[in-house]
Amino acid sequence: MRASRRWGQNFLVDPGAIRRIVEATGSLAGLIPLEIGPGRGALTEELLGRVERVVAVEIDPRLSASLRARFSPERLTIIEADVLTLDWASVAASAGVPASRPIAVIGNLPYNISKPFVMRLVEQRRRIDRAVLMLQREVVDRIVAAPGGRDYGAMGILVGAAYRVERLFDLRPGAFRPRPKVVSTVTRWRPRSSEALSESVEVALRACLRASFGHRRRTLLNNLRSALAGDERTVASLLRQADLDGSLRPEAITPEGYRRLADAWRDVMPSNS
């Protein structure tokens, strides 16, 4: 079955890589294994060698039909949907298990949905026990970047507030068919405690990161001025409460600094807007 450009498909065919990815998930006892984009079923088959049941989300009707013909419905449940609009509350029901059971996410993500899917993982972190994900290496560079570099930005700060992300290994284009033009990186994700990022702090953090990184070449002060329509009084209050130097560029501010800014944002901004 040919890969579809529409869905950004590059099928993993390296048996060693497939085993390493599944091994990286660890024990899946008591969890719902949720595979994102099973494709031709290479990871699916390896997973089913270790667990009784897998739930898979596949957007391509051709591949869904092929997987249904290949695997027993008692062992593989296929949700034919776009994972970016997936109702995560329905995953447990699809597997026939209690809604409280946590999810282990495994997947070779299409490069064109990496960023929006990562944001969905942040939203759904309370349902997730762990994730092992293959992403474009440049995306992983941005997720794990330290302050001060060009890769450091809003996405990495927000993900880091919700998860501990570990780089595991790279996969060269030859591990896939068709061969992509980029290197992929396999990562392991573990959610931080629910107290680390409450819902109200998440809303404020998203808002202040959008404002702070509006223009990377501007200072933090000027970005906040622009985002808040020149409200000097509010900008000054935010910077004072967060104990931040507004003359710095946004990539120079640490995650802890943005957390303080988010706390100040909740106090100063109406409805965390």
Q: Where in the chain is the domain with CATH 1.10.8.100?
A: 199-272
Whether CATH 1.10.8.100 fits 199-272: yes
Q: CATH 3.40.50.150 region(s) of the chain?
A: 11-193
**pLDDT tens per residue across span 129-164:** 999 999 999 999 999 999 999 999 999 999 999 999
Share of the chain above pLDDT 70, in %: 96
DSSP percent split of the chain into helix, strand, coil, nearest 5: 45, 20, 35
What pLDDT does residue 272 have?
46
CATH number for the domain whose boundaries are 11-193: 3.40.50.150
Per-residue model confidence as pLDDT tens digits over 30-79:
999 999 999 999 999 999 999 999 999 999 999 999 999 999 999 999 99
Kindly report whether the global pTM for this prediction surpasses the value 0.75: yes
Q: Is the per-residue pLDDT at 188 higher than 80?
A: yes
Q: Which residues pair with 108 in a beta bridge?
A: 134
pLDDT at 117 over 50: yes
DSSP state of 41: S
Instruction: Tell me what pLDDT residue 6 has.
Output: 62
